[in-house]
Structure formats: structure tokens, C-alpha cells
Structure 1
Amino acid sequence: MSAPIRTYRIAAIPGDGIGIEVVAAAPEVGTAYFKESGLYLPKDFPKTLKGYDAILFGAVGAAGKPTGKPTKAPSCDPPTFLTTFLSDVPDHESLWGLLLKIRAEFPGVTWDRELVDAMTIRMVQKPASIDTVVGTNLHIDILSDLAAALAGSIGIASSANLDPTRAYPSMFEPVHGSAFDITRKGIANPIGAIWAAADMLAWLGEGESANSIMEAISTACDRKMLTADMGGTLNTVQATEEICKALF
């Protein structure tokens, strides 16, 4: 007897710029809503979103408007952790102090410490020496973009904003931002958003489905079915279709 099919409620929020192009929905969220109401989100959005299992987010932000990015958190469990900090900013020492307290609980994990400016050099020169980097939102927001570029394109990276208590839905998004310079050109790389969807499924316990999506992404990349930022010739829709072909 096969297991019953589970269904989930997913809040798809495309936001601004290429977020609308990589997330197939268009609720009233983002700069367009801000211009009308003075708010990026409705006042009751926490209550509204609490009824969902997860959030698939595109991007928000536009020139001349206040912006903010959520903290990005890794979703893997590798054997080496690096912490980044600026030596002249005392508040960052609290993160290192916390890691010192909990490191005894993970004897198989190697810990290291790196100045954030030196970290940029290490990432470029010795990327294979790094598994996971832990730091404050400001540092990791910058370093994660560098990591995505080193991997091939900022358009392929996903991020997760997790609520470990699961009291509220966790949010998954590509890291590329709204990218208004390429909006409506049809050239945005959809992989970051699709990868975010795979991460979302893994978080919801649908590991097999998540793996299938990742395999489809890999297949499309192996076939060079890519957008221009990765040396290909496909537009956003065509690249998405190639991943779907590999999936189905």
C-alpha cells in the first residue's frame, strides 16, 4: 500500500525585479505595494503567513527605496566550520564565544577563525579548504555572493531563513536580489529559485523530491542548457523548461 500523498501550503512571494520572473506568482508584496501603501508588507503578514508550511521568496528592493535582506543560513552539516569577524568590532566576539561554548558537543568538527577581509582572499585562492562559514548577517551577506560567483554565477545560489522551532514557516529564496538592471529582459537565471524550492522541499521532509530537482539541475548544466551568465544562450523560460524536461 503506497503512502498517502501529502499536500503543503506554500506562500509564493515574487517581490520585485527579476524575483517576479523567477517565482511564478504575483501577490501584492514589494516595492509596487510600497509605493501605494508606504509598507513593504501588509501589517497582518505574520498572521497571514503563519498558516503556510513554507515561503518561496523572490527578491525585494529598488533604487531609492529602503531595503533589507534576511540572514542567510547554510543547510548542510560538513566537518569544518569557519567564523569570520572584524577585530575592531567587539560585538562580533559574542559569536565566537558562543561557538567556543558549544564546540565540545561536536568533537568531530574542526573549527577555525578568520578575519573577514582575509576570508575573501582565502575563498578565491583556496575555496576547497572551506566547508561552512558562520558569521554575522553583514559579513555572510557579502561572502555568500562571492561564494556564488566562485561557483559559477550569483544566479545559481539559494538561501534559507529557518525557524528551527517551526512555529512559523521558514523562507527560501535565491540570493541574487531584485537585479533591476536585467529586469524584463528574460535573461535571469532561474536555477537559484529552483534550488531554493529544492531546499524548501528538503526542509519539509520531502528529501526524495528535493534530490530529483537537484539532479535535474545538474543534468541541465551538464547539457550546457544555461543562461548567458553561465556561458549559455537560453533565456529564463527556456532554461526552466530544460530543467523541467530533465525532471519529468
Structure 2
Amino acid sequence: MRTHRIAVIPGDGIGPEVVREGVKVLEAATTRAGTFRLEFDWLPWNCSYYRRHGRMMPKDGIEQLRAYDGIYLGAVGDPSVPDHVSVWQLILPIRKAFQQYVNLRPAKLLAGLESPLRHKEARDLDFVIVRENTEGEYSDIGGRLHPGTPVEMAVQTSVFTRYGIERVARYALSLARRRRGRVAVATKSNGLAHTMPYWDEVIRSCRVEFPDVDVSFYHVDALSTLFVLRPETLDVVLATNLFGDILSDLGAAVVGGLGVAPAGNINPEKRFPSMFEPVHGSAPDIAGKGIANPIAAIWSGAMMLEHLGHPEPAAEVVRAIEQVLAEGRVRTRDLGGTASTEEVGDAVVRALEHPRPVGERPR
């Protein structure tokens, strides 16, 4: 029986609470499948670790993670540590060191949820955002000059390479080929005169390899209106690091909120471990109250199962989530219910162990 070693980084705020439920569901899915094992190692790397050691993870943290098959992350961020420190010393180094160049974020309306968009149903809201994850606008090139003076300035340089664009473009095009055959590319070539025309040019050079995939280019501001007005026209959205970051939060909003938004930081070639995390962040204002929605973390765990080569257990976890949501009895406050984080996790485990057609009430 194959064993997958998973590094668990619960992180800050509500991270430990939602990851605990995610691991609970993953263990139930593993037991149910009976064909593989997950071995979890819990790593205490977070803002508390930073306050004690002056860094977000050990000096050899990347080397420690290299031995794992996957990384399961809760959330990172605390008011006591500036965001540019916590993110740039933990999440971004992991993404870049392990060439997790695809940030994959589904925007799918699950059974039992209602979209804030009028007259939009589940069939209208099922697309996925492919965000370039290792370069672009989040490149660490730049700095400040003359700090503390009237002429202080800051420069941040975006970096776009042919290699980086081609590999994420081919991933998005391949994904679209397996879905409904459409890619919407986010650009801003009318305002960014060098990087965005180059982004468009390289993607156009890749699309010739996929003549069966329809590719459309949209200025990012116009594309954001499609998320709201005509989301049913979307299938795969391909975006730069910054645009993908923004659009994926909008995508989460139209399908029920950040509490149900999963994400994967993926190295498609599996040369390095990939990392899976909920989109919502650490939410320090509700940390420790036991009211955080664990669905995004649980769904992220399902994405990890699929990436590890277990699509059927992954699909069963998503179906169990939908069963719980469709029944409507166990929901956290952000979805209009009163259930605790733990109660939702327990309900998903029960649905996994005792599946029923989605929407059928328990007797």
C-alpha cells in the first residue's frame, strides 16, 4: 500500500482550526478507499515561530519540505507581523523553490449554496482560474531610495519570462481541452506597454499547439465584469500573478464566499511537492472562536488527493461537502447557520461514510 507523506503547516489564526477538520476528513477518505495511506507531519511554522526565532521557518525549511509528497497549509498572517514579512518568508519561498507555477482556484457553485448573483445557478458557475504563481508582478526585484526624506521613492519590477509564460499557458490550454475547451486570458495590454503585450504574444504562440481550444483575450477590468454579468461564458481563466490573485477572490465571492474557496499551488510535473490551502487567509478576528468555515480547507485537501493520483476519493470528499450543504442543517455562520467548525468537519465525515444522493434528507 502506497504511503504519501504530507507536511502540515497549520499556520496562524483560523488555520489550525480548519486544517484540523481537513485532516479529519482526509483520514476518513483514506480509510474508506483502503488503497493508500497518508502520513501527516505537523510543522509549527507561523508568526509565533517568527516572534521567537526572527524567521517564519527554519533555515533548512525548504530542504525539510523537499522530502514530502504534499504540503497542506492552513493560513499565514497575524497583526503582530507585517504581511510582507509573513508571506515573503513562508508562502512565496515555498511556491518558488518548488516551482509551483500553477495556482489553481476552482470557482464552482456547490450544491446547496446560492450565489449572490441573481438568476445564476450551479450550471452557470463552474470555471477555474489558472494563475501564474512564481513570477510576474510578485517578483522580488526593487527597493526604496532615500527613505524618510521628501524624495523617498519605491520601485517594484515585474518579471515575465517566455519560459514562465509558456509553461502556465500550456497547463491552462491542456486543462481547457479536458473541460469545455475555452480559455479567457486576462491582460492589460492597453495600459502596460511592455509586459502585457509580451504576455499576450507568448500565449498566442502556444495556442497554435491547441487548435481545438478557443482562446479569447480580455482586458482584466472587462473580464472582471464577466465574472458578475456572464460567468456562464467562462471555463478556464488564465491570468498573471497579480490579476489572478484579484480575480480568484472575485470568483470565490460569486460562488458563496472565501469560506468555500480552495486552492492548489501545483508543480504539474511532480518534481517537487505541491501545496494546498484555503484561499480565505488567517482571519484573526474570529480565530479561536470555533466558528470558521472549514469547507475551503476540506476541499483543498480533496484537490491534494486528486493531485496525488486518487481522483475517486477526491470526488467523494467534494460530494460529501455538497451533501452536507444541500441538507442545510449544518452550516457555519458565514453561510447562514450556527454550526461550529468541528461540527461541519464531523458532518462531512458522516456524509463521506454514509453517502446519499445530494439533496436527499436523512431519515
- Work out the CA distance in 2 between the residues paired with 1:16 and 1:125: 35
Q: Deviations over 1:152-185 (max 9, x none)?
A: 1111111111112322100011100111121112
Residue aligned with 1:112, SS:
strand
2:108 corresponds to 1:92:
no
- Give 1:35's match in structure 2, choosing from 51, 57, 82: 51
Give, in angstroms, the shift of residue 30 of structure 1.
Answer: 1.3
Q: How does 1:78-227 map to 2 (within 5 A)?
A: 78=179, 79-86=181-188, 87-89=190-192, 90-224=194-328, 225-227=330-332
2:349 corresponds to 1:244:
yes
Report which structure shows greater RCO (CA 8 Å, sep ≥6).
2
Which one has the largest radius of gyration? 2
RMSD between aligned alpha carbons? 1.7
Partner of 2:4: 8
Residue aligned with 2:317, SS:
helix
- Work out the CA distance in 1 between the residues paired with 2:280 and 2:352: 24
8 Å CA contact 1:30–1:41 kept in 2: the answer is: yes
Q: TM-score, normalised by structure 2?
A: 0.64
- Work out the CA distance in 2 between the residues paired with 1:230 and 1:56: 24
Residue aligned with 1:167, SS:
coil
- Work out the CA distance in 2 between the residues paired with 1:162 and 1:118: 28
Structure 1: any 5+ residue segments left out of the alignment?
none
Residue aligned with 2:104, SS:
coil
Give, in angstroms, the shift of residue 93 of structure 1.
Answer: 2.7
2:244 corresponds to 1:228:
no
8 Å CA contact 1:11–1:49 kept in 2: the answer is: yes
- Work out the CA distance in 2 between the residues paired with 1:140 and 1:179: 21
Give, in angstroms, the shift of residue 125 of structure 1.
Answer: 1.0
- Work out the CA distance in 2 between the residues paired with 1:26 and 1:203: 20
- Work out the CA distance in 2 between the residues paired with 1:47 and 1:149: 36
Bigger shift: residues 77-86 or 6-15 = 77-86
8 Å CA contact 1:160–1:196 kept in 2: the answer is: yes
Q: How does 1:46-61 map to 2 (within 5 A)?
A: 46-61=62-77
Please tell me the residue identity of whatever aligns with 2:72: L
Residue aligned with 1:8, SS:
strand
- Work out the CA distance in 2 between the residues paired with 1:108 and 1:53: 34
- Work out the CA distance in 2 between the residues paired with 1:111 and 1:40: 40
8 Å CA contact 2:291–2:339 kept in 1: the answer is: yes
Q: Deviations over 1:84-127 (max 9, x none)?
A: 12232231333222210111111221111111122221111111
Please tell me the residue identity of whatever aligns with 2:347: E
